[in-house]
Amino acid sequence: MRFLITGTAGFIGFHLARRLLDEGNEVVGLDGLTPYYDVELKRRRHAILSRHDGFREERVMLEDQAGLKRVWEDSGSIDAVVHLAAQVGVRHSSEAPGEFVDANLIGTFNIMELIRRRPVKHFLFASSSSVYGANSKTPFAETDMCDQPLSFYAATKKSCELMAHSYSHLWGIPTTGLRFFTVYGPWGRPDMAPSKFTHRIIEGKPIDIYNHGRMERDFIYIDDLIEATVRLARHAPERLADSSSSGRALSSRQHRRRSTRRAAVACRRNRKESWKNGHPQHVAAPGRRCSLRGCLR
């Protein structure tokens, strides 16, 4: 298959691209190499991917509509698009909300516009566990209401889900949304807890603990997440006739259940967030490790 993946210099995008390339697929990798964290780390990831003949690197920002259009036209036939690039950081979204509007909202819109004009077999995009926000029901489920985001980052991710839902319904784009929970592993982001804790331990410095240490969190190992994503990428939602949209609507619940079950084979548990005695807990629900929506309605 031939994939276009955004964010291939990022943690998850790098691992996904490498897995697909190792399996003999072709990957067009888009990344703006933004300086949110060490750009040299991103360059090193891309250098590894560039060893594969099937990898083509394109440096372009998500908000650069003309640049994206050029890459899209030069890429030829694409079977699937996996949109992972985004501006991340819950705290950073309060400090620089405009960056999140540009990268997450405008950027996702630009990607979907390309697909609308030249359809692909499957469009997958990364959402976030942050969309569950103030949801007090635990464990979380894909069908839970997510209308109370507690950060602007979460608000942009929820908005991307809504835009993808609309495009999927209106133009019959086979779409899969993935709500990633906390991911760790080799080549991980230096701003995440595992890397920060490791560096401080090596340097003999104390570890920063939030909320007085009264919290629990489960993490998803990167290989498990990539396994689930690869399996989902190969199973696009089916099209079903629907009188309200001239036969272009996609199946929803049935596909979502099937896709989630397939992904659950690789993803054993799902990090869930709750509040107990006034402090946060990130606890796993039996049966899943990551929240994946097989199709948006």
Q: What is the set of active-site residues?
A: 153
Q: Cβ neighbours of residue 100 under 8 Å, at least 6 residues apart?
A: 87, 93, 152, 153, 156
DSSP element (H, E) containing 271: strand 270-276
Yes or no: say if 138 and 273 are a contact pair by the CB < 8 Å rule.
Answer: yes
CA distance 52 to 25: 10
Query: Which 3 state secondary structure label does DSSP give 289?
Result: coil
- CA distance linking residue 88 with residue 86, whole number of Å: 6
Phi and psi (nearest 5°) for 152?
-70, -30
- Nearest CA among 188, 194, 222, 190 for reference residue 35: 190
| 161: nearest Cα among 135, 131, 140, 136 | 131
In sequence order, the 6+-apart residues with CB closer than 8 A to the CB of 227 are 266, 267
Cα-Cα end-to-end distance for the chain: 26
Q: Is there a contact between 13 and 84 (Cβ–Cβ < 8 Å)?
A: yes
Q: Which residues make Cβ contacts (< 8 Å) with residue 99, sequence separation at least 6?
A: 87, 92
